[in-house]
A and B are shown apart, each in its own frame.
Chain A
Amino acid sequence: MTRFGLFLITLAVATAALGQRQPESAADSRRIDGLLKRDFHERGQAKMDRVQTDELQRACNRYADNPPAALAKRLEAAQLKAIPFPSGSLLGSWQAGEKIAQSGRGMTWNDKPGDAGGSCYNCHEISPKEEAHGTIGPSLARFGTLRGNSAEIQRYVYGKIYNSKASNACSQMPRFGHSGTLTEQQIKDLTALLLDPASPVNQ
């Protein structure tokens, strides 16, 4: 580290409240990406390309997940444009969707590549039959009952799971399709879990 860099960081500590989130400047982002490249190694499917932040992550880090409205709009539009929406019905099997929602596996260095669930219950209430659900994300109970399952709603749900950032630039939710975690069929199955009138979510 340069002496000047050290000085800047020292200054930041002196002025920052203990522990709070500080904006990550463009220089910080470059430095952290570089440090992670130096201090990490690939393991299993977790290759080193994963430490390199993309434009959206850098913007969220830069603005502490609260980017200016114009930037957020531009980022969301770019993410939306890249979603390959399948034609026809987006409703798969809610039974398969429930299994995918339950599974917390996927994408870690000790998971088998290609064997991934959505970890949905880690953060969301979904089916009333599953009480062991997290509370980081909003409750999805009765999702379809409350909203119907029109083509527009199907498209919204499929798109949200494929790339949550297309509608909320710095959403805490992973981009399950964009990241290659879930397949088109799996996302259709999860869409059915939320929207199929026969799904326990809507009972």
Chain B
Amino acid sequence: MGLALGASGLLAQKSPYADYQRMTAENAPVELYEIQGEEAWKKRAGPKNVSLEQCDLGQGPGVLKGAYAGLPRYFADADRVMDLEARLLHCMTTLQGRSREEATKRVFGNADLASEMEVLSAYIARQSNGMPLKPGTSHPKEKAAYALGQKLFYHRAGPWDFSCTSCHGEEGKRIRMSELPPLAKPEYARPVMATWPAYRVSTSSFVTLQWRMNDCYRQMRMPEPNFGSEVPAALLTFLTVNAAGETYRGPAIKR
């Protein structure tokens, strides 16, 4: 089962993946996605026929440097906490005037063709490389998002009674041969959150954090989260705040 949030950091240091990651990190195919992402960012689209270049990712309209490292955060214009993909969807529907239905028609791509959301994530995340993760923690809604994410992380539900901690709860435990990081602990959350989004070697595709949340819920035997909704944003706030201060070094390569 492809369950891992990625073997990296502490865990990777003890595993063969560490060598593998070092070997692959230098010639990352990630750059190809970044180039496509820049094109997607600048491409005019939607009824308003404008690009996303005036999208405000939290540092001001069009400011990309450090924007990803500052997410998730509260946005007054939407009056809610948003992760990168939720915010991009917001810009597509407001700035470009696209319908939610059209903009979310194909949010997850495959090995043959990455999605618009994936290439945009690659392009935007790259511009926070080397900067510390600094998600919003001061606004009351940011505090509420963290608290909700924390509750959701432990919430058992579904036919198999699973929560996130069914796989990511205990140190040193394996599922088959995979050691999965207990992500409530900062020392485990840091190396993981510092490397998403990522190119995934096992599927030859670029994957985002919304995809990761979805695939975890799939394996929890739950229905599918709505793209960009409050539940994944709260979980991503919880995970990113747990990793706050870690230097962002993605987009990375994962098995």
Q: Is the CB of A109 within 8 A of B218?
A: yes
Q: Is the CB of B157 within 8 A of A50?
A: yes
A110 CA / B223 CA spacing, docked (Å): 11
Q: Is the CB of B159 within 8 A of A107?
A: yes
Contact with A122, one of B140, B157, B176, B189 (Cβ below 8 angstroms):
B176
A183 CA / B173 CA spacing, docked (Å): 29
Q: Is the CB of B151 within 8 A of A50?
A: no
Q: How far is the CB of A4 from chain B (nearest CB, A)?
A: 12
Contact with B176, one of A20, A48, A132 (Cβ below 8 angstroms):
A132
Contact with A135, one of B143, B146, B173, B241 (Cβ below 8 angstroms):
B173
Contact with B184, one of A20, A57, A174 (Cβ below 8 angstroms):
A20
Given contacts A13-B146, A16-B150, contact A61 B224 (CB under 8 A): no
Using an 8 Å CB-CB cutoff, how does the interface string of A102-145 with B read, 1 for contact, 0 for none?
00100111100000000101110000000011111000000000
Question: How many residues on B have C-beta within 8 angstroms of the other chain's C-beta atoms?
Answer: 49
Instruction: Report the nearest A residue to B222, measured CB to CB.
Output: A50
A42 CA / B162 CA spacing, docked (Å): 17
User: Does B93 belong to the interface (CB within 8 Å)?
Assistant: no
User: Does A172 belong to the interface (CB within 8 Å)?
Assistant: yes
A108 CA / B3 CA spacing, docked (Å): 13
Contact with A19, one of B143, B230, B242 (Cβ below 8 angstroms):
B242
Name, among A65, A110, A121, the residue most crowded by chain B CB atoms within 10 Å (CB to CB). A65
What residues on B are CB-neighbors of A109 within 8 Å? 218, 223-224
Using an 8 Å CB-CB cutoff, how does the interface string of B142-163 with A read, 1 for contact, 0 for none?
0110111011101111111110
Instruction: Report the nearest A residue to B239, measured CB to CB.
Output: A19
Given contacts A39-B229, A40-B226, A50-B223, contact A24 B155 (CB under 8 A): yes
Q: Is the CB of A135 within 8 A of B174?
A: yes
A175 CA / B232 CA spacing, docked (Å): 26
CB within 8 Å of B: which A180-194 residues: 180-181
Question: How many residues on A have C-beta within 8 angstroms of the other chain's C-beta atoms?
Answer: 58
Instruction: Report the nearest A residue to B241, measured CB to CB.
Output: A18
Q: Is the CB of B221 within 8 A of A39?
A: no
CB within 8 Å of A: which B107-156 residues: 140-141, 143-144, 146-148, 150-152, 154-156
What residues on A are CB-neighbors of B143 within 8 Å? 9-10, 13
Q: How far is the CB of A198 from chain B (nearest CB, A)?
A: 26
Instruction: Report the nearest A residue to B233, measured CB to CB.
Output: A39
What residues on A are CB-neighbors of B222 within 8 Å? 36, 40, 46, 50-51
What residues on B are CB-neighbors of A13 within 8 Å? 143-144, 146-147
A104 CA / B1 CA spacing, docked (Å): 7
Q: Is the CB of A136 within 8 A of B1?
A: no
User: Does B39 belong to the interface (CB within 8 Å)?
Assistant: no
What residues on B are CB-neighbors of A57 within 8 Å? 156-157, 161
User: Does B28 belong to the interface (CB within 8 Å)?
Assistant: no
A123 CA / B158 CA spacing, docked (Å): 19
What residues on A are CB-neighbors of B152 within 8 Å? 32
Q: How far is the CB of A174 from chain B (nearest CB, A)?
A: 4
Closest 8 CB pairs of A and B: A174-B160, A19-B184, A39-B229, A179-B159, A39-B231, A9-B147, A43-B224, A40-B223
Q: List 6 A-B contacts (CB under 8 A).
A: A16-B147, A46-B221, A48-B223, A108-B219, A175-B161, A181-B160
Binding site for A on B (CB under 8 A): 1, 140-141, 143-144, 146-148, 150-152, 154-162, 165-166, 170, 172-177, 184-186, 189, 217-219, 221-226, 229-232, 238, 241-242
